Structures are given as C-alpha cells and as structure tokens.
C-alpha cells in the first residue's frame, strides 16, 4: 500500500500548497515516485468540466505528475466552502469518487502528498468534513500555520480537532516567517505551541525567492525546504525507505 501525508492548515491561504510542493520537489530529488492530490478545490478557473485548480496545477508541476483527473477530482468555480459552492453550481462533492481517485493514484506512486482545502473542519457536504476525508484515506497529517499573532489559538484548535478525531499529527510547519525583524510573537509562538501541544515543530519557511504559483515557478523552494524542514519526520516510520537513491 502506498504511504503518504495529508497537508492541512489552520486556515485558508496559510501555505499548504507551498509546503506540499516543497515536499514533492525534495522527494523527487531523492528519486521517489511521488504523487500529489488536491481532492477538493474551489475558486477554479476555466469552463464547465474543464475547470482548473491553480493549486493542483502547481502541485502536479512540482511532482511532474500526468494524471490531472485523479489528482483534482472535485473542482468548483466559486471561491467558497465546498458545500456552498456545490449547492450554487448544482453539483455535489462526490466523496466515493474522490476516494476511488485516491486509490487509483496509490497504484502509480510510492508516496502520495494530499493537500486539503482550508482547515480540518471545512464542510465538504452535510455532516462530512475535511477531517472525515483524512480519516477515510487513513493518512497522518502535517499542520501548516503562520507564526505571528493568533497562531497559538489557531494551531492548538486544529491540533485538538485532529486528536479528538483520532488523526495522527506528524508535526507543525510555520510558513512565511520573517527572515529579519521578527515580531515577538513569531519568536515565541512556535515553542509555546510545542510546549502546550507536545507536537513536534518540523521547521519554518520564509518567503521563497523566485516562487510564483501562478506561473508554476518554484525558485529556491526545493533548496530552502531541504535546509529548513525536517523531511524525515514528515515521512515518519517510512523515512528510511525514501533516502536518496
């Protein structure tokens, strides 16, 4: 069975896509057959059944994947919660189809990186949340957060929601940290969050030079990710299987 990780966040726009792409680039550099998936995406562009998720396109470029229907099975035009977007667009979030796509991807790759939408409690449909999808996929998670003011509350709430639902939390990554003129919150929050939750802090990412998601340009993301993130702790017990080939 292919192993993998689910990248979730404390909110929308905290950097899940950048973290997912960075991990894909590093694993590809090790010679790993890495697959990516954005199961549900809103705010897509294009027409009708040809809607394109910019996040999914960025991830597929990072991993050099060529199975877009499987990697991005549920796409909606409106930039809203998936359950609301589906209602407005007279569609549905077809969970069995998403899980079928996930199982198909497992056949083609050694390791899968699945990026969520928003946070754990984003509703995909009535009584079914992102957290339910993670549990049905059977994946551990990494939480992506900002490091500034408010991070303690948002991160602990996300961790608590995960633990209550029986999800395995591999660690926390802080994104868009300052490289100079740190705020006091940015300096102290990661340690406070670790001390209160017991969850490992796997590293932090600054703004990456040359990174442009809209043009699928990665700049120095691979190098920065490799230097600043504890990749083997993301991989967990499977780390030894994914060393450089």
Structure tokens at 44: 């897509």
d(CA 235, CA 22): 14
- The closest of 245, 208, 219 to 111, measured between CA atoms, is 245
* Three-class DSSP category at 115: strand
- The closest of 180, 173, 143 to 160, measured between CA atoms, is 143
Structure tokens at 163: 């633990």
What contacts 236, CB < 8 A, 6 or more positions away?
Answer: 140, 170
d(CA 140, CA 228): 21
Q: What is the CA radius of gyration of the chain?
A: 17
Cβ atoms < 10 Å from Cβ of 10: 23
Eight-state DSSP code of residue 121:
T
Which one is catalytic: 38, 126, 191, 233?
Answer: 38
Q: Is 38 designated active site?
A: yes
Q: Annotated catalytic sites, by residue?
A: 38
């Amino acid at each position: 069975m292919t192993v993998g990780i689910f990248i979730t966040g404390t909110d929308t726009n905290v950097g899940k896509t950048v973290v997912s792409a960075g991990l894909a680039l590093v694993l590809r550099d090790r010679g790993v057959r890495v697959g990516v998936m954005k199961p549900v995406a809103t705010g897509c562009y294009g027409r009708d059944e040809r809607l394109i998720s910019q996040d999914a396109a960025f991830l597929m470029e990072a991993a050099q994947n060529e199975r877009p229907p499987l990697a991005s099975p549920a796409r909606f035009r409106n930039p809203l919660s998936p359950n609301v977007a589906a209602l407005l667009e007279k569609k549905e979030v077809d969970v069995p189809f998403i899980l079928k796509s996930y199982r198909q991807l497992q056949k083609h790759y050694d390791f899968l990186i699945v990026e969520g939408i928003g946070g754990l409690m984003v509703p995909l449909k009535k009584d079914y949340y992102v957290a339910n999808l993670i549990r049905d996929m059977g994946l551990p998670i990494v939480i992506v957060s900002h490091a500034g003011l408010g991070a303690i509350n948002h991160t602990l709430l996300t961790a608590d929601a995960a633990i209550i639902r029986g999800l395995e939390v591999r660690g926390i990554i802080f994104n868009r940290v300052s490289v100079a003129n740190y705020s006091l919150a940015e300096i102290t929050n990661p340690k406070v969050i670790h001390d209160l939750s017991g969850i490992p802090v796997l590293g932090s990412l600054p703004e990456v030079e040359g990174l442009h998601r809209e043009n699928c340009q990665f700049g120095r993301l691979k190098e920065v990710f490799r230097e600043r993130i504890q990749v083997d702790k993301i991989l967990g017990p499977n780390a030894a299987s994914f060393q450089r080939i």
